Structure formats: structure tokens, C-alpha cells
A = this chain, B = another copy of it.
Amino acid sequence: MPLSLKRRGVMFVLSSPSGAGKTTLSHMLMEADPAVEFSVSVTTRTQRPGERDGVDYHFISSAEFDRRVTAGDLLEWAEVFGNRYGTPRAPVETALVAGRDVLFDIDWQGTQQLHASCAADLATVFILPPSGAALKQRLLKRGQDSADVVAGRMAKAAGEISHWTEYDYVFVNEDLASSLLTVRSILAAERLRRERRLEDLTALVGRLDSELKGLAG
């Protein structure tokens, strides 16, 4: 009978400038590991082609966003390019208690707010693009934005990457396959951090202790 220790889930944050690959990696991670669930943000921005309401984001009105902020229903929220984004609190707490990990595809502003409220549950990863040219190419290729928006994102990327110093782990996304392995190793390690399994480890060590004392005599 394998010893399956219960554990508290990890709040696993992936941040990067737009185009550095965090959204693709997030999808790959969830496909590879069914214990990981996505924290679906609420946002006031317009739905992009291909995005599904309730899966990629919950698209809500500005008035509804205000209501949630006031009610304390959001773990963090931020305004980016004139739109607001926030993380609903309840699904995160449910998942962590059940030992499921929650993946956050958020920026440094959101990460700072999560640090303030949930530091013990967090593991934060910052993903860097291999070069500025690679970032620009990915932004142009994805074709979601006008040339003006791409230029805005490039300028903003410079500011964003300066926040790498606030993250636990930092790596360069050179190719998606090895980046996926990297992200999975970080998560595997974080799951084994002592603080996430205090209750079960305490119980296990208590049983071992009695057994060892009995056997030593």
C-alpha cells in the first residue's frame, strides 16, 4: 500500500511579458498534469477570437467587477492597458484544501498582491524570452493585435522583465518542450516542501517514532 500523503495545493504563478510563451506553457502543463487547475480570471476586456468565456476568462462588466472588488471576492486585481483583471478567491481556496494545485497566468502586479495575502502557498516563476527579436516575432505571429498594440506590448515588456527579481524561479523559454519539463520539475519540488504537508508528515513521523522505539527494544 503506497503511502499517499495529503498535501495542501500549490499556488503556482507563471509570469512573463506577453509573447514569451507563458500561456502556451500553461496549457501544456495542464494537459500533462491533471492535478493542476487553471485559475480563471475575471476581466473587463473584450473577448478575443478563440477565447472561451468561463475557460480562458470570465468576461464581466465593469460594474460587476466593482461589485466583486467591494465584496472582497477577488484575491488580487490589476488594471492593464485600460482593462481590469482579477482572481476569484473561492475556487482557489477549495482547490488548495483538496490538494489540487492552482495555476496563475498573471503579471507582476497580480503576483505582488498574492504575495501580500497568500505568501505561504505561492511558488512563483518568471519566464524570459530568449531575445527581444524572438518576442516581437511571436507577438506578430499570433496576429491578435494591431501593429500599434504590438509596439505597446514591446515597450511594456521592458518594464515587465525588470520584475524578475521578485520571483522564486527564473528561466529562459528557448523551446517549449524543455520549458515544460522545467516547469514540471519546479512544481514537483514545490509539492514536496515541508510546509505543504505539515499535518500528514507530523502524523506519519508520530507513527514511525512509536514503531521504531518498539522495534529497538
Binding site for B on A (CB under 8 A): 2-3, 5, 126, 128-133, 135-136, 151-152, 154-155, 157-158, 161-162, 164-165, 167-172, 174, 182, 184-186, 188-190, 192-194, 197, 201, 204-205, 208-209, 211-217
Shortest beta-carbon contacts, A-B, top 4: A132-B211, A189-B189, A154-B216, A185-B188
Q: Which residues of B contact A171 (CB under 8 A)?
A: 192
Contact A197 B211 (CB under 8 A): no
What is the predominant secondary structure among interface residues of chain A facing chain B? helix
Task: Pick from A136, A167, A185, A193 the residue with the most CB of B within 10 Å.
Answer: A185
Q: Which residues of B contact A130 (CB under 8 A)?
A: 3
- A151 to B169, alpha carbons, bound, how many Å? 44
Contact A170–B151 (Cβ < 8 Å):
no
Contacts of A193 in B (CB 8 A): 168-169
Inter-subunit contact B172/A3 (CB<8 Å): yes
Chain B residues with CB under 8 Å of A126's CB are 194
Cα-based distance from A151 to B213 in the complex (angstroms) = 10
A-B contact pairs, 23 of them (CB 8 A): A3-B172, A3-B174, A128-B204, A128-B208, A129-B208, A132-B208, A132-B212, A133-B215, A155-B212, A157-B216, A161-B205, A161-B212, A164-B201, A168-B194, A169-B192, A170-B192, A170-B197, A172-B204, A185-B188, A186-B192, A188-B189, A189-B189, A189-B190
